[in-house]
Amino acid sequence: MTLITEVRLRKVLDSRGNPTVEADVSTESGGFGRASAPSGASTGEYEAIELPVDEAIANARELAVPRLEGQVYAGDQRSVDQLLHEADGTDDFGEIGANSAVAISMAAAKAGADMLGAPLYQHLGGTFRGSTYPTPLGNVIGGGEHASGGTDIQEFLSVPVGAPSVSDAVHANAAVHGEVRDRLSEQGVAAEKGDEGAWAPPIADSEAFEIMAEATETVGDEMGFTIEIGLDVAASELFDGDQYQYADDARTTDEQIDYVADLVKEYDLVYVEDPLDENDYAGFAELTSKVGEQTLICGDDLFVTNTDRLEDGIERGAANSILVKPNQIGTLTDAFDAVELAVENGYAPVISHRSGETEDTTIAHLAVATAAPYIKTGAVGGERTAKLNELIRIETNV
């Protein structure tokens, strides 16, 4: 039986060295699941609330844990997540914190899988899932909120669209990361790494595009398949309420739309996340109508994994893809619902990590469980490779 008998919460470290919430869920017949909450830096205005960790843990212990222990089955994910919502009582997890909620939600799913003796992706997605794997989007050059002194565009992503397997794709992204390092050092550019392990060199975005084009082509030729380029512009961080402020330029909304549309054409971009401010549905719709046939226009801060915001986007034709971050919305059920609504409406779901991460691998399973076409979880670094290696394990064990 998967009746939850105990929920334990503790404070652990994330990859930035900040405290975060870890949850352990135990069930009546000995099932066990452990999960921890990630944390964003370039967070969307409409995300569920991440409370200070001590507060999140204390409030969840008081309000949520007594409603879960002895009351609900870990295998019944919708009921677990419904109880988390009821215990919280707000619509943004403002009482127990989305950090406590998501850790408990994911730990319960793992306890349910443990009792069933099934891999997590199979428990979440059903027995017919496990034969479709996501293409990993690998962050190899970046800046923005993830590294001071780096590029204006937050993430330049390696996208190994032609890779014959997840394993090849994961190794390709790591190779592109290495190729970028070699090119930067040939040019005498010293680069630190940002929060997600991407190089954060003090170069102009235009130079980053050139290095990306060369590095993806070199590695693609070596590995024998096509590697394209994607971006997370994280444009809300550039928008000052009037214009998009770049180091050497300022762009109006119309200019930003033209700039991104030109980049899509010039660099054959296959993926562009948050090209416009998180409140600009109209701008997203205009850009999507211009280049949506050629590329994915993905809403991260725009949609914040929230089905209400996604419905608004669908109505207006804003974007054709959604980033799915479970901690933006607080439970796996809500994340699943966002994926389903997206797929029903032809929007590509992209399962994603946060810039602050832990060794937790739930998102790798979520991507396989939902047959999501893409996962964004970095290219190198232990908390990133935890997910990438889990994908390889899932692929090679079936």
Write out the catalytic residue numbers.
196, 325
Q: Is 355 annotated as a binding residue?
A: yes
* Interface residue with ligand PEP, options 22, 205, 232, 383 (CB under 6 A): 232
The answer to whether 43 touches 99, Cβ cutoff 8 Å, is no
Query: In a 10 Å sphere around its CB, with 0-12 CB exposed, 13-18 middle and 19+ buried, how is residue 108 labelled?
Result: buried
Nearest to 372 by CA among 196, 121, 142, 26: 121
Residue positions counted in the chain: 398
Nearest approach, Cβ of residue 301 and ligand PEP (Å):
7
Nearest approach, Cβ of residue 143 and ligand PEP (Å):
12
Residue 320's binding partner out of ligand PEP, Mg ion, none, with CB under 5 to 8 Å set by partner kind: none
Query: Which CA distances in Å does 50 have to 9, 15, 97, 102, 273?
Result: 15, 16, 5, 10, 23
- The contact pattern for ligand PEP, residues 347-366, with x = CB under 6 A and - = no contact, is -----x-xx-----------
Query: In a 10 Å sphere around its CB, with 0-12 CB exposed, 13-18 middle and 19+ buried, how is residue 133 labelled?
Result: buried
Nearest to 146 by CA among 135, 156, 133: 156
Residue 15 interacts with ligand PEP (CB under 6 A): yes or no:
no
Nearest to 102 by CA among 66, 150, 49: 49
Interface size with ligand PEP, residues (CB under 6 A): 11
| Closer residue to ligand PEP (CB): 123 or 354 | 354
* Interface residue with ligand PEP, options 36, 43, 158, 370 (CB under 6 A): 43
| Closer residue to ligand PEP (CB): 73 or 303 | 303
What tokens does 130 get? 């496990």
Nearest approach, Cβ of residue 104 and ligand PEP (Å):
20
| Closer residue to Mg ion (CB): 205 or 232 | 232
The partner residues of 321 in beta bridges, in order of sequence, read 298, 348
- The contact pattern for ligand PEP, residues 273-312, with x = CB under 6 A and - = no contact, is ---------------------------x------------
Q: Is 308 annotated as a binding residue?
A: no
* Interface residue with ligand PEP, options 234, 287, 364, 367 (CB under 6 A): 234
Q: Is 146 annotated as a binding residue?
A: yes
Chain residues in the site for ligand PEP (CB under 6 A) = 40-43, 145, 232, 234, 300, 352, 354-355
Annotated binding-site residue numbers for Mg(2+): 232, 273, 300
